[in-house]
Amino acid sequence: MHVEAVPLYLSEVAPARIRGGLNILFQLNVTIGILFATLVNYGANKIHPWGWRLSLSLGSMPAALLILCTLFLVDTPNNLIERGRLEKGRAVLKKIRGTDNVEPEFNEIVEASRVAQEVKHPFRNLLRRRNQPQLVIAVLLQMFQQVSGINAVMFYAPVLFNTLGFKTETSLYSAVITGGVNVLSTLVSIYSVDRAGRRMLLLEGGVYMLLSHVAIAVVFRIKVTDSSDDLGHDWAVLVVVMVCTFVFSFAWSWGPLPWLIPSETFPLEALSVGQSVTVCVNMLFTFVFAQTFLSILCHLKYTIFAFFSVCVVVMSLFVLFFLPETKNVPIEEMTEKVWKQHWFWKRFIDDNNHHVVVNSGKSKMHY
């Protein structure tokens, strides 16, 4: 549930100029959690026969910390205003902005909340033509994130390294290295996302991910056969470097941004349900790849990374032609400044022909 709520919460409270970096702090904590989990597994592997029990039980500690910290959170101004607590919402908005001059933003939130409250069927509204650009982008970004090959690398890094000839402990150690690279690279994204923009990070990340996949596929093709999986020192180092390059480039591009972009592009009346669909798609593809990757790897061998390479090319082309830049644009102004200006998506945002269904069964409200 926190996967859905946290990006949404951060997008609602963050000023537009730092919204990207603040939102990616969520991804940073996820990567830190992955690193710690890998370290725990590395240590528990040395404890017999109950190390695996220790590994599982320690997972309760982050959950307890998460519950404790939520006690200190305040409701977002959007949520308070939507529930009719206008003065409380204004007070929280002044507090998080650090200024009393919040009336323009407050009025925009009030108007957006009024529209959101008049929506009769949230899911039906999400499918309306004017919300289709955001929905399509959110679904495809999550799908592309999974078919990029990241779960193949992160979930099965120890198995992957074993396949390439590493010893068991060495493969776990290599997974620790990739986890550390994941954390460091996410810091790069926090710094650059509100400076370079979302599109630039996704495109640059795609280039390095593509090169990494191609290199790994070549190593698989040359050195790994049915009769031999002995890499040798130089080839093993190359594989680790390429895996780390892939993780590094993913963690500052396709790792955090598919979570950030949907949370800042949906209009307020479709934001919660849109984020729910985003999470659902991510979990679905994560489950599918987690269950099928090992079988696919055994059958396709090195060509699985050729498949990932093709996917990276496709998703980079999608970003190049269809993903608008949302850097420094307030959520309340996203329709006017982003969607109505995009060469392709502007045809879906037509004030004269498209509207939102409101509580009155016969009346329609244009906005």
Compute CA distances 157 → 82, 162, 283, 315, 349, whole Å: 45, 8, 20, 23, 44
Output the DSSP codes for 122-154. HHHHHTSGGGHHHHHHHHHHHHHHHHTTHHHHH
Q: Inform me whether the pLDDT recorded for 358 exceeds 90.
A: no
Which range of 155-169, 275-289, 296-310 scores highest in mean pLDDT? It is 275-289
Give the pLDDT of residue 351. Answer: 57
Give the pLDDT of residue 105. Answer: 87
Measured between its terminal Cα atoms, the distance across the chain in Å is 31
Give the pLDDT of residue 366. Answer: 38
> Which pTM value belongs to this model?
0.80
pLDDT in tens, 243-252: 889 999 999 9
Pick the CATH number of 123-348 from 1.20.1250.20, 2.30.30.30, 2.20.25.90, 3.30.1120.10: 1.20.1250.20
What does the DSSP 8-state code read for residue 249? H
Give the pLDDT of residue 49. Answer: 82
Give the pLDDT of residue 159. Answer: 62
Q: By CB neighbour count within 10 A (0-12 exposed, 13-18 middle, 19+ buried), where does 261 fall?
A: buried
pLDDT in tens, 118-132: 777 888 888 889 899
Q: Where are the domains of the chain?
A: 123-348
Compare 358 and 189 and report the one with higher pLDDT.
189
Q: Inform me whether the pLDDT recorded for 166 exceeds 80.
A: no
